[in-house]
Amino acid sequence: MSTYTVFEYTQSMNIPLVIEYFFEGEKITDPVAFFEKNPGVFELFFPSQGEILDMINKKVLFFQTHKLVISEYGFHMIQL
């Protein structure tokens, strides 16, 4: 599964879903462009795409109260 599949999957949902990506402590403002410019970073440092999709599915239950933050250290549910 490609990185783009993860982005397409999250955008296909009909509910507002806030997902933020961080790398080395810095927020990635444009994840698609960042991972395009830095091939391999997603696969080397971030959780597997399957893990991300599982976490997104769990996050859907909390979309009104939390946002999902994904970094090279894993996942964090942050209250809005």
DSSP state, residue 12: T
- Nearest of 79, 23, 15, 12 to residue 47 by alpha carbon: 23
Distance (Å, rounded) from C-alpha 11 to C-alpha 30? 14
3-state class (DSSP) for residue 28 = strand
- Alpha carbon 62 to its chain's center: 15
Give me the pLDDT at residue 4, please. Answer: 62
**Amino acid letter, residue 35:** F
Give me the pLDDT at residue 50, please. Answer: 82
Give me the pLDDT at residue 22, please. Answer: 92
Give me the pLDDT at residue 15, please. Answer: 64
Task: List, for the chain, all residue ranges whose pLDDT scores fall below the cut of 70.
Answer: 1-7, 10-11, 13-17
Do 56 and 1 contact (CB within 8 A), yes or no?
Answer: no
Give me the pLDDT at residue 20, please. Answer: 87
